[in-house]
Amino acid sequence: MTKPTTTTASATKVDSPAASPAPNWAHVPFDVGCGRCGHDLRGLTESTCPACGLAFDWSKAVPIEQLTCPSCDYHLYGLQDTRCPECGEGFTWDAVLTTYHERRLPFFEYRWRDRPFRSLISTWFHALRPGKFWRSMDIHDPPRVGPLLMVPVLALCGFLLMLIAAEVMNQCIVIL
């Protein structure tokens, strides 16, 4: 059996008393650390880091009900082993947590393989509203540099295609 991996608590505002309750730690097979200072949060019930005072939401820090097998989407809640009982595929908790965070975001950086056009448009619209964009992002979402570099390249290609189309249209008008 592989060593359980570590996740960090997401930094979010917890203004309402209806914040999600602490997880059942018997069902959490990975370590949970504070997103700011890395303090071990295992076993805590309060949604505030005792070391640095960071307030967070347990449902984002430990999304155990939403974690699924990368191969067959079987829910892994309560599973302590790193092998899916449905398909038998092995996994790491770190990979499962990363997949969960990537699937919840509609941005091109994360969804360019399964939804290329929709995610590109979504990223563009979110970029026009930076407040909404940054509220949807989490400091612990892993960046994907390759797809991020593809966005300006695609924009430049689109611009060049529009220039070529405009030039062709001008040539056609001159000929007529």
Q: d(Cα 36, Cα 148) in Å, to the nearest integer?
A: 25
Residues 80 and 135 in one domain: no
- In this structure, of 54-68, 118-132, 150-164, the range with the lowest mean pLDDT score is 54-68
Q: So what's the pLDDT on residue 8?
A: 54
Residue 67 has pLDDT above 50, yes or no: yes
- The angle at the Cα of 46, spanning 31 to 58, to the nearest 5 degrees, equals 55
58 and 21 share one domain: yes
Q: What is the dihedral of CA 12, 15, 20, 24, to 10 degrees?
A: 80
Domain final residue pick, 76, 104, 132: 104
| Residues 133, 119: Cα–Cα separation, whole Å | 13
Q: Could you list the residue range(s) of the whole structural domain that residue 1 is in?
A: 1-104
Pair (85, 7) in one structural domain:
yes
- Same domain for 71 and 155? no
Give how far Cα 23 sits from Cα of 3, 9, 67, 83, 94, Å. 20, 12, 14, 22, 18
Report the greatest alpha carbon distance in the chain: 78
What's the total number of domains in the chain?
A: 2
Query: 10 and 78, same structural domain?
Result: yes
Statement to judge: residues 164 and 78 lie in one domain: no
Say yes or no: 28 and 7 in one domain: yes
Q: Per residue in 161-176, pLDDT tens?
A: 999 999 888 888 777 6
Q: What is the pTM of this model?
A: 0.55
Mean pLDDT for the chain overall: 78
The Cα–Cα gap between 106 and 102 comes to 8
User: Do 96 and 146 share a domain, yes or no?
Assistant: no
Same domain, 10 and 77: yes
Return the ∠ at Cα 94 (arms to 42 and 104), rounded to 5°: 100
Q: Residues 77, 97: one domain?
A: yes
CA distance linking residue 81 with residue 85, whole number of Å: 9
Residues 97 and 122 in one domain: no
- Please say whether the beta carbons of 32 and 8 come within 8 A: yes
User: Domain end: 104, 131, 155, which one?
Assistant: 104
Identity of residue 149:
L
- Residue 16 is predicted with a pLDDT of 41
Which of 104, 124, 145 represents a domain boundary (last residue)? 104
Contact present, 59 and 20 (Cβ < 8 Å): yes
